[in-house]
Each structure stands twice: as C-alpha cells, then as structure tokens.
C-alpha cells in the first residue's frame, strides 16, 4: 500500500503482530509516558519483523486496552462549554452518566465515566490531552521459561566472547583465540547455523522442531523429507 501523496510503500500489520510487538515493548517498559512514545517503541519492534510495517496511534491504543495489556492515566485539556460525549474518546465504549438533584427537584448531569478505562468527562475537562500507559500483568502472556533460559545463555556467551577478545593479544594464541571467537559468534546468532541460539529461539516461536530454514542444505522443494 502507498499513502496518498507519498511514494514510500507501507504495510499494515495484523492485530496479532501488533500485540506481539506491544508485549516486547511493555516487558521492557512497564510504564510508557505518552502515546507518541508507545507508537515509537512499538513501531521499532514491528520494523524488526518487516521494515514496511506502520501503526497508527489510535489503533495501537485501542488494541492495547481491548486486550487488557495496559491501564491508562489521562490528562485533560480545559474544555469549552458544551455537551458531554456519549462515547469514550479513549476506548470507544459507552459512557455512564452521574447526575445530581437540583434545587427545583430535577436532575443535572455532572459527569460521565467510562467503566472500561479510566476516562471521566466533566464540564471542565472532557478532551484527553495526554496518555500514560501502565503495563497490566493480568493482560500479558506468560513467557516461556525456555525462552528465558536461551536468552540468558546468549547473554553469558556474549560475555564470554567479550572476555576472550580482551584476552586475545594476537600473539600468544596464534589463530586459536580468533577461531574460538568466530565459533561463539556463530553459535549465538548465525542464521545459517541450525543449532545457533537465534535459530533455537525461532523454533520456539514457530513451534517447528526441525523447520526447513534450519537445514541449510535442504531445498524447499523437498521440505517434507527427513533425510536432508
């Protein structure tokens, strides 16, 4: 898709792709101070899957709220006189009225509140000015402990790699220290090494025990064969 007046193509990720990116953002940032920050961080995560992915602020906010991943704190613009909204501008749910009795025996609407998010409309403030998002543990998927273990192993191997580089003076160990560094680097992140930690993490993600991309000598034509 190409936006009007723009020559750069873009793609719209599906809800599950957005939610996955949002999980990564919220695990690293339990509190996000603004909607702009949430969009920026999520867009950065989405770009890892596809650089052409784009996400809008309203869609992202609605998805995060609907999936119970965040609670939201709202600051308001000072409002001009006028009727209170019927629909929540934050999450698009219906608002409930709060009324007070008047001196002449009638009632007057003094505010409207959303029972889904924290929005509250009053005559003094009914237009959201700023959002702050706070991660809700109940809305976050449990992380696979195997993923944690592999990520920890990757960090330790990177620490070992750094120590070996520090010890290598290019003379004492001849080429052996360099060979060890190359081997560790491949085991950590080389996509062409089937048993690299990078590929093991991908296997967890896809649920495939022996995917075709982990068999570099195999052809897609023979993806179902077990002998290659």
Contacts 24+ apart (CB under 8 A), 16-25: 17/46, 17/49, 17/53, 18/42, 18/46, 18/55, 18/59, 18/60, 18/63, 19/63, 19/67, 19/69, 21/45, 21/46, 21/49, 22/60, 22/63, 22/64, 22/69, 23/69, 23/140, 23/141
Identify which has the larger pLDDT, 51 or 101. 51
Q: pTM above the 0.85 mark?
A: no
Q: Would you kindly state where each structural domain of the chain is located, as residue ranges?
A: 145-222
Residue 198 has, within 13 A of its CA and on its CB side, a CA count of 14
Residue 76 in contact with residue 83, Cβ under 8 Å?
Answer: no
Averaged pLDDT score across all residues of the chain:
84
How far apart are the C-alpha atoms of 41 and 36, rounded to whole Å?
9
What pLDDT was estimated at residue 222? 44
Task: Retrieve residue 1's tokens.
Answer: 């898709």
* Range in 53-67, 175-189, 202-216 with the lowest mean pLDDT: 202-216
* Cα–chain center distance at 82: 38
Task: Please compute the mean of the pLDDT values over residues 184-202 and round it to a whole number.
Answer: 87
């Amino acid at each position: 898709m190409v936006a009007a007046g723009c020559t750069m193509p873009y793609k719209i990720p599906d809800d599950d792709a957005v939610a996955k990116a949002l999980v990564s953002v919220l695990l690293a940032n339990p509190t996000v101070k603004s909607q702009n920050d949430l969009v920026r961080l999520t867009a950065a995560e989405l770009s890892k899957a596809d650089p052409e992915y784009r996400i809008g602020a309203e869609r992202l906010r609605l998805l995060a709220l609907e999936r119970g991943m965040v609670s939201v704190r709202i600051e308001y613009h000072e409002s001009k006189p006028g009727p209170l909204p019927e629909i929540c501008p934050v999450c698009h749910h219906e608002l409930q009225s709060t009324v007070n009795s008047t001196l002449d025996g009638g009632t007057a609407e003094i505010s409207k509140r959303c029972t889904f998010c924290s929005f509250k409309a009053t005559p003094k403030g009914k237009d959201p000015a700023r959002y702050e998002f706070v991660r809700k543990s109940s809305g976050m998927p449990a992380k696979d402990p195997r993923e944690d273990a592999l990520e920890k192993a990757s960090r330790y191997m990177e620490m070992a790699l750094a120590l070996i580089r520090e010890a290598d003076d290019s003379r004492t160990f001849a080429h052996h220290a360099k060979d060890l560094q190359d081997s560790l680097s491949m085991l950590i992140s080389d996509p062409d090494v089937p048993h690299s930690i990078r590929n093991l993490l991908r296997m967890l993600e896809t649920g495939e025990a022996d995917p075709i991309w982990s068999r570099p000598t195999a052809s897609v034509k023979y993806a179902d064969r077990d002998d290659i």
